[in-house]
Structure 1
C-alpha cells in the first residue's frame, strides 16, 4: 500500500524564546578563544591526553553511536515519502493429485503502495527526526567539550599533587634539620623538652601531609586514566611537574553569540524545532488520508505456466477520521504542550549558560585577587621567618615564635599551589562556558 499526503502543512505557533539577550556579560577580555581552547595552556602533554580521550573514551564512543542511530532514524522516517514496493512468491503441492484438485499451486506477485502527503504529516515526521539527529550531534559535541574540560582538570590535579609532594618533601627536610638543631640546643640546656616535642609534632604532621598528597596523586591519576579510556592501573607517565600560567581574560562576546556558539544550546533549540514538527504531524492526523495501491499477480497449478497470465489491480483509498473518542485532539494538545515544554527548557538552558559564564568570571577574578593577597602574605611570612630565626639563633626569641612562623610559611606555600590549581580550574570552566565546538578525530575520519 502506498500512502500519499499532499504538502499543505498546518500552521503552528511561533518559536519565540522566553528570555532577553540584551544585557552584556559583566567582564570581558581581548583574546579570542580558539576552538581547541586547551592549546592556550601551551602544554603538549595535555594536548596529547585530550587527543587520546577524544578517540578512546568509551562514553564519547557511545554518544557517537547514538548520533549514528538518530541519523538512521531520519532515513527510516524519510522512507515513508517513497512508494513501498514488495514482491511475493508462494508455492505448494497437493498429493495425491488424482483424488484432489491440486498439483503445484504457485503464486507470484508485485505490489506497491503510496500515501499522498496531503497535509505534510510525513514530511513533518521526517523533519522532526532530522532535528533530533542534529540535536544528537550537538550532544556529541557537548560531550567532547565536557570531556576536554574534565581531562584538563584531572591533569592539573595530577600536576598540583606532584608539586605538593615536591614541596612537602622539601619542608620535611627543613623540619628534620631544625629538629636536629632543637635537640642539640636542648642537650645544652638552652631549650625545654616541650620545644623538642613541638618540633617533632610539626615534622610528623608534615609527613602526614605527604601521605595525603600521595593519595591525591594516585586518585587523580586514576581519574585521568579513566577519562583517556585506560585502566586505572595504567601508568600515564606524566613528565611535567609544574602548573601552567593563566593568560589574561578571554573575550566573552555577546550573550546572543553564545547561543549560536555553544553546542548544548544549539542542541536544546533543535529539540524545540523537533517538538514543533511533532505538533504539526499531530494536527495533520485529524485530516483525511489518501493512499493508492498497485498490485499485479500471476498464479498457476504448474511451474511452467506460472508467468503466462497476469492479473492487475489499482485502488485508491480515502480515510477521514470521524470519531476517535477525542484521542486525536488530545494527541495534538499533548504535542503542543511538549513543544512549549521544550521551548521553556531551551530558555532555562540559556539562562544556565549565562550564569555559568558569570560564575566563571567572578571565580577567576576573585581568585586572582586572592592569589595577590597570598603572594603578599608569603612575602611577609618569608621576611618574618628570617627575622625570627635570626633572633632565635641569637637568643632573643622563644622557639614557639619560630615554630609559629615556620608553620605559617610552609602552609602559605602549600596554599599557593592549591590556589594556582583552582585558578586553572576556573579558567577551564570559563573556556567551557564560552567556547564552541571543535572537530574531533571521528568527524575527521568521516570527512576523509
Structure 2
C-alpha cells in the first residue's frame, strides 16, 4: 500500500501511553459483532446497504474511475473517420454525385511525462476517493453503534427513573399521612411534592431523548423514522470487548482517512509534473488518408495521404503557465500538511480512546462499589424497618440512593461502550490496505491499467 511508502516526516511513538489490555482481540472488519448484539449487527448492515451517504460515496468512486479512463485516453493515438455523399444539381447542368471519405489519426508525444502523470494522478485520486468511501462507511458504522447504545441506555435510565418516581410517590403518601396525623408540616409535603414532579420530568425527559435518538438512528440508516423499531431496552447484558490497539506505526496502514490523504498527496505530486510539462515544447504527429470521386465504385482510385509533425512551444502567456506550476506546488504543500495532520490526528484519536477506556473503567470500579454499598444499605434499612427499628422514610431514602447509583452505573456503561466504539473507529475499524484493491481492480477491468505506486518523500516529492 502506498501509505507505507510515503514518509510524512512525522515521528511516531514506539508505543501508546495508555497501558495495553491483556487478552485483547484484534480489530476485524465486522467489529460491531464483537458486542454480541444481533439487533446492532442488523442495523449496521442495513445502514451500510441503504445509507444515502454511502451511496453518494460509492458514486464518487465511479466518477473517479471514469476520470481514470478519460485521462488514459491521451496515452494512445486518437483515430477518427468520416464519410460523405452529396448530390448537386445546378440549373443548366446535369446532376453531379460526389463521394468522399477519410481516416485521420493524431498523437501527442509524451516527451515530458505529462500524460502519464495525468493518468497517474487520476489513479491516485481514485485511490483517495475509494479510501474516503471506506472512511464514510466506518464513520456511519460508528455513529450507528453510538446511537443504538444511547437509545438503549436512555430507555434503561427511564425505567430506573420510573422506579425512583414510584418510590417518591410512596414517600409522598407517607408524608401526607404523617401530615394528617400532625407529625409533618405543610413544608414537608410541598418539598416532597416538588421532588415527585421533578422525577416525573426526568422520566419524560429520558423517554423523549430515547425517542429522539431512535429518530437519529433511522436517519443514519437511510430510513423513515416511522419504519424503524428498536426492540432493545437495556445495555445491562452488553459487554464491551477488549481491543488490541497494536502499535502506533500500525495506524498508518489501518486508517482509510490516512490512506486518502496520502493518495491525495501523490495526486498533487503528479499535478506538479503536468504543470511543469505545460511550460515545455510539445510535438504532435498526425496522419490522414482520404479519397473522393463522383462515382462510388471509383472512390479509392486516387487517394490522398498526409503525414505531418508539428512542434509548438509557449512563447508568451503573461506568466499563466508559471502561475499554474506555482499553484500545483502550493497545492502539494497543502496536501503534505493534510497528510501529516491526518497522521497526528489518528494518533491522538487512538490515545484519547485508550485514555477514555482506562478512566471510565476506573470510574466503573468505584461506581460498582458505590452500587454494592447502596444495595447493602437498602437491605439493612428494610431489615431494620421490618424489625420496627427504622422508619419508612429511611427505607425510601435508601431506595433513592440505590436508584441514583444504578443510574450512574448505566451512564458509565454507556460511556464505556461508546469509548470502545471510538477506539474501533480510531484504529480504522479493521480496514486493511489490501481492501483498497477494489479500486485498482476496477481500473484494470475498465482500462487495462496496471497501477504503479509512487514513492513520496517528506518534502512531497514523489517518483515512479
TM class by shorter chain equals: 0.7 to 0.9
Q: Once the 2 structures are TM-superposed, how far is the Cα of residue 286 of structure 1 from its aligned partner?
A: 2.4
Cα pair 2:156 2:233 within 8 Å, conserved: no
Moved more, 273-282 or 235-244: 235-244
Structure 2 distance, partners of 1:195, 1:406, is 19
Which of 2, 6, 12 is the equivalent residue of 1:21? 12
Q: Once the 2 structures are TM-superposed, how far is the Cα of residue 56 of structure 1 from its aligned partner?
A: 0.5
Structure 1 distance, partners of 2:177, 2:354, is 53
SS in 1 for 2:64: helix
Structure 1 distance, partners of 2:98, 2:237, is 82
SS in 2 for 1:299: strand
- Show structure 1 runs of 5+ residues with no match: 1-13
1:89 aligns with 2:80: no
Normalising by structure 1, report the TM-score. 0.87
Q: Once the 2 structures are TM-superposed, how far is the Cα of residue 410 of structure 1 from its aligned partner?
A: 2.6
What is the CA deviation profile of residues 243-271 of structure 1, one whole-angstrom value per residue up to 9, with x for unaligned ones? Answer: 45444642211222101111110110011
Moved more, 351-360 or 196-205: 196-205
Structure 2 partner of 1:270: 263
1:311 aligns with 2:304: yes
Q: Once the 2 structures are TM-superposed, how far is the Cα of residue 188 of structure 1 from its aligned partner?
A: 3.1
SS in 1 for 2:289: strand
Q: Once the 2 structures are TM-superposed, how far is the Cα of residue 363 of structure 1 from its aligned partner?
A: 1.3
Structure 1 partner of 2:56: 62
1:112 aligns with 2:105: yes
1:125 aligns with 2:118: yes
Structure 2 distance, partners of 1:398, 1:221, is 39
Q: For 1:404-419, what aligned pairs fall within 5 Å after superposition?
A: 405-419=398-412
SS in 1 for 2:227: coil
Cα pair 2:87 2:96 within 8 Å, conserved: yes
Structure 2 partner of 1:201: 194
Q: Once the 2 structures are TM-superposed, how far is the Cα of residue 119 of structure 1 from its aligned partner?
A: 1.6
What is the CA deviation profile of residues 56-83 of structure 1, one whole-angstrom value per residue up to 9, with x for unaligned ones? Answer: 0011001001001101110100011111
Cα pair 1:246 1:427 within 8 Å, conserved: no
Normalising by structure 2, report the TM-score. 0.84
Q: Once the 2 structures are TM-superposed, how far is the Cα of residue 230 of structure 1 from its aligned partner?
A: 0.6
Q: Once the 2 structures are TM-superposed, how far is the Cα of residue 24 of structure 1 from its aligned partner?
A: 1.7
The aligned length equals: 429
Structure 2 partner of 1:8: none
Structure 1 distance, partners of 2:193, 2:389, is 21
Which of 77, 88, 107 is the equivalent residue of 2:71? 77
Which of 418, 427, 435 is the equivalent residue of 1:425? 418
Cα pair 2:104 2:286 within 8 Å, conserved: yes
Which of 33, 40, 54 is the equivalent residue of 2:27? 33
Structure 2 distance, partners of 1:356, 1:221, is 27
Moved more, 17-26 or 56-65: 17-26
Cα pair 2:240 2:420 within 8 Å, conserved: no
Structure 2 distance, partners of 1:124, 1:102, is 55
Q: For 1:187-226, what aligned pairs fall within 5 Å after superposition?
A: 187-226=180-219
Moved more, 112-121 or 200-209: 200-209
The alignment's C-alpha RMSD in Å is 2.8
What is the CA deviation profile of residues 143-163 of structure 1, one whole-angstrom value per residue up to 9, with x for unaligned ones? Answer: 111111000011101111221
Cα pair 2:275 2:325 within 8 Å, conserved: yes
Q: Once the 2 structures are TM-superposed, how far is the Cα of residue 287 of structure 1 from its aligned partner?
A: 2.4
- Show structure 2 runs of 5+ residues with no match: 443-464
Q: For 1:2-401, what aligned pairs fall within 5 Å after superposition?
A: 16-27=7-18, 28-29=20-21, 30-98=24-92, 103-239=96-232, 241-247=234-240, 249-303=242-296, 305-385=298-378, 394=388, 399=393
Q: Once the 2 structures are TM-superposed, how far is the Cα of residue 181 of structure 1 from its aligned partner?
A: 3.1
